[in-house]
């Protein structure tokens, strides 16, 4: 590793750590000011962010950027402002009868310096959403954005430098080598969003420093279509969920599980919904491109591999874009040999798996690693409960896609291979806090009866304590 790179990163970390040590418990007013500056920074640069992301993607729909990257950060910060005083307050915890009149409290305390590694698919939101939680909790923040979105990363670095001191929050730009060095720093907490494969490497690097981690990963998120589903409604919502950001979303539906009798009508309805939302592709300002030539080629390779293994491809449009955009494609007659059924897709390709019984669908989900999201469409409450009870996923949306991610009053995070820990709202605040237990003993305490020298009184008291609930 470049020694100068190592030294520069450690210097930034030490600057923040010294500042934190001088202010270990920032006041409500200080934290509120930092959140307000983050909101102002976001609002003032909204259009510049949308333009930068569009350049990074070859084209990205302005409205998608304003909704998914800009609005979401502002909404999260405003939610934190509204609830911050309550989150910061000591929490009373019940005390066992044997210890009364003593009392228990939980004191939320900031951890110190937080490192955030953000991916390219929602480059501003996935950097600033954990950052706002870390700031609300009273921490200092260092961010490493993706090298695949250099325009957005450079803009973020300038924005943060204008609105925050480097001791409060700073952005470290650079290539994969910088990213590796960043994850090896001895942070007080490391928050990583990205692929499961890279997440394993990040966890290993953090473990060498005993740095606690939150991993927001991904996986193959299924959509289970029940026989009771409304075909038109389901098709429209699946089309939106799959084509938002051209499928480059960690919680996009990765494949469909569909009753065999509904495969043809549902796929026809999905294709029709896709054409209605995006009448054209190449010149359409609403349809986003693929982030890089490498990812564009990877998606085409998935289609070619599926076709070679006997899949049937149904494309939404006859138009073949000349840009980095890809025609939305449903992939039918899939099997386990196809790469598209083994890898997370991250693009506008949607495999369809037919099933005969709901038990088969549940077994199909459970044979793979636990996904970040699961979707269920239908009106049969018994079937819905069966799927919820017998599958695992980081989060679930019923009769829609994606939107569980936007709930600030719910935790967002993975399970198993799709992630560790959670963020959003109070859960994000807790992630970046130490909930320190505080036991306050009373002036006159019965625990003195437990002191030596031991004798009959101790034995009687121990026997009594065993009978307490």
For residue 106, CA distances in Å to 20, 81, 176 come to: 21, 21, 40
268 and 376 part of one domain: yes
Q: Report the C-alpha gap between 422 and 214 in whole angstroms.
A: 7
In a domain, 444, yes or no: no
Among 319, 289, 321, CA closest to 59:
289
CA geometry: angle 291, 295, 296, nearest 5 deg = 85
Q: What is the pLDDT of residues 165-187, one digit of tens each?
A: 999 999 999 999 999 999 999 99
In a domain, 447, yes or no: no
368 and 386 part of one domain: yes
Domain endpoint, select from 382, 413, 444? 413
216 has catalytic annotation? yes
250 has catalytic annotation? yes
70 and 40 part of one domain: yes
In a domain, 453, yes or no: no
25 and 91 part of one domain: yes
Q: Report the C-alpha gap between 230 and 225 in whole angstroms.
A: 9
* Residue 194 in this model has a pLDDT that exceeds 80: yes
Bridge partners, 105 (sequence order): 92, 438
DSSP secondary structure code for residue 423 in this structure: B
* Residue 1 in this model has a pLDDT that exceeds 70: no
In a domain, 468, yes or no: no
In a domain, 376, yes or no: yes
50: left (phi over 0), alpha (psi -120 to 50) or beta: alpha
- With contact defined as beta carbons under 8 Å apart, do 324 and 282 qualify? no
In a domain, 455, yes or no: no
Among 230, 232, 190, CA closest to 207:
190
283 and 377 part of one domain: yes
In a domain, 284, yes or no: yes
Q: What is the pLDDT of residues 374-405, one digit of tens each?
A: 999 999 999 999 999 999 999 999 999 999 99
| Average pLDDT of the segment spanning 206-213 | 95
Q: Which of 184, 250, 344, 423 is catalytic?
A: 250
Bridge partners, 397 (sequence order): 375
Question: What share of the chain in percent tops pLDDT 90?
Answer: 91
Q: At 2, is the pLDDT very low, low, confident or very high (cuts 50, 70, 90)? A: low
426 and 395 part of one domain: no
φ, ψ at 63 (rounded to 5°): -65, -35
| Average pLDDT of the segment spanning 55-84 | 97
In a domain, 253, yes or no: yes
CA 317 to chain centre: 32
- Give the per-residue pLDDT at 213: 97
Q: Report the C-alpha gap between 292 and 115 in whole angstroms.
A: 26
180 and 301 part of one domain: no
Give the CATH number for residue 13: 3.40.605.10
Q: At 460, is the pLDDT very low, low, confident or very high (cuts 50, 70, 90)? A: confident
Radius of gyration of the chain from Cα atoms? 25
Its pTM stands at 0.94
Domain with 331, as residue range(s), is: 222-413
Sign of CA dihedral 40, 41, 44, 50: negative
226 and 188 part of one domain: no
176 and 303 part of one domain: no
Q: What is the pLDDT of residues 339-354, one digit of tens each?
A: 999 999 999 999 999 9
Contacts of 307 (CB under 8 A, 6+ apart): 313
Give the CATH number for residue 333: 3.40.309.10
- With contact defined as beta carbons under 8 Å apart, do 227 and 214 qualify? no
287: left (phi over 0), alpha (psi -120 to 50) or beta: beta
- With contact defined as beta carbons under 8 Å apart, do 128 and 153 qualify? no
120 and 226 part of one domain: no
419: left (phi over 0), alpha (psi -120 to 50) or beta: left
305: left (phi over 0), alpha (psi -120 to 50) or beta: alpha
243 and 178 part of one domain: no
174 and 259 part of one domain: no
Q: What is the pLDDT of residues 13-63, one digit of tens each?
A: 999 999 999 999 999 999 999 999 999 999 999 999 999 999 999 999 999
Q: At 10, is the pLDDT very low, low, confident or very high (cuts 50, 70, 90)? A: very high
Q: What is the mean pLDDT of the chain?
A: 95
Q: What is the pLDDT of residues 417-450, one digit of tens each?
A: 999 999 999 999 999 999 999 999 988 888 888 8
**By CB neighbour count within 10 A (0-12 exposed, 13-18 middle, 19+ buried), where does 27 fall?**
exposed
**By CB neighbour count within 10 A (0-12 exposed, 13-18 middle, 19+ buried), where does 444 fall?**
exposed
Q: Which of 168, 216, 236, 426 is catalytic?
A: 216
Q: What is the pLDDT of residues 242-278, one digit of tens each?
A: 999 999 999 999 999 999 999 999 999 999 999 999 9
- Give the per-residue pLDDT at 443: 87
- With contact defined as beta carbons under 8 Å apart, do 57 and 295 qualify? no
For the chain, the domain total comes to 2
Q: At 465, is the pLDDT very low, low, confident or very high (cuts 50, 70, 90)? A: confident
For residue 39, CA distances in Å to 31, 77, 163 come to: 13, 7, 10
Q: At 455, is the pLDDT very low, low, confident or very high (cuts 50, 70, 90)? A: confident
* Residue 469 in this model has a pLDDT that exceeds 90: no
Strands (E), 125-178: 140-144, 169-171
Among 416, 411, 409, 376, CA closest to 393:
416
| Average pLDDT of the segment spanning 116-130 | 97
């Amino acid at each position: 590793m470049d020694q100068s790179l190592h030294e520069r990163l450690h210097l930034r970390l030490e600057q923040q750590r010294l500042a934190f040590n001088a202010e270990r418990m920032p006041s409500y007013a200080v934290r509120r000011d930092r959140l307000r500056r983050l909101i102002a920074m976001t609002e003032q640069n909204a259009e510049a962010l949308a333009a930068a992301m569009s350049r990074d993607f070859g084209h990205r729909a302005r409205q998608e950027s304003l909704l998914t990257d800009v609005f979401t950060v502002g909404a999260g910060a405003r939610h934190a402002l509204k609830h911050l005083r309550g989150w910061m307050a000591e929490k009373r915890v019940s005390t066992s009868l044997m210890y009364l009149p003593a009392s228990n409290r939980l004191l939320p305390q900031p951890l110190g310096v937080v490192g955030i590694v953000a991916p390219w698919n929602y480059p501003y939101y996935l950097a600033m959403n954990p950052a706002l939680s870390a700031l609300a909790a009273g921490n200092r923040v260092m961010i490493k954005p993706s090298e695949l979105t250099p325009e957005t990363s450079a803009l973020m670095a300038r924005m943060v430098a204008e609105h925050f001191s480097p001791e409060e929050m700073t952005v470290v730009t650079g290539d994969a080598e910088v990213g590796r060095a960043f994850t090896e720093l001895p942070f007080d907490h490391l928050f990583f969003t990205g692929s499961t494969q890279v997440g394993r490497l990040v966890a290993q690097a953090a473990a060498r420093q005993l740095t606690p981690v939150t991993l927001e990963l991904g996986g193959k998120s299924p959509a289970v279509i029940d026989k009771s589903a409304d075909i038109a409604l389901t098709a429209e919502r699946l089309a939106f969920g799959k084509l938002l950001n051209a499928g480059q979303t960690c919680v996009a539906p990765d494949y469909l599980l569909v009753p065999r009798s509904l495969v043809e009508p549902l796929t026809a309805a999905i294709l029709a919904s896709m054409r209605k939302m995006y009448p054209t592709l190449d010149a359409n300002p609403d349809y986003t491109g693929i982030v890089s030539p490498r990812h564009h080629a990877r998606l085409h390779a998935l289609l070619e591999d599926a076709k070679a293994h006997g899949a049937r491809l149904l494309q939404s449009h006859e138009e073949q874009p000349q840009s980095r955009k890809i025609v939305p494609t449903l992939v039918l007659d899939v099997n386990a040999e196809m790469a598209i059924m083994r890898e997370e897709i991250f693009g506008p390709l949607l495999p369809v798996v037919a099933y005969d019984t709901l038990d088969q669908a549940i077994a199909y989900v459970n044979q793979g690693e636990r996904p970040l999201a699961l979707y269920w469409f239908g009106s049969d409450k018994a079937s819905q409960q069966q799927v919820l009870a017998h599958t695992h996923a980081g989060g679930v949306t019923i009769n829609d896609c994606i939107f569980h991610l936007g709930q600030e009053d719910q935790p967002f995070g993975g399970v198993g291979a799709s992630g560790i820990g959670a963020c959003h709202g109070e859960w994000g605040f807790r992630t970046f806090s130490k909930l320190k237990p505080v036991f306050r003993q009373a002036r006159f305490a019965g625990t003195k009866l437990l002191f030596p020298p031991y004798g009959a009184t101790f034995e009687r008291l121990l026997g009594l304590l065993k009978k307490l609930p």
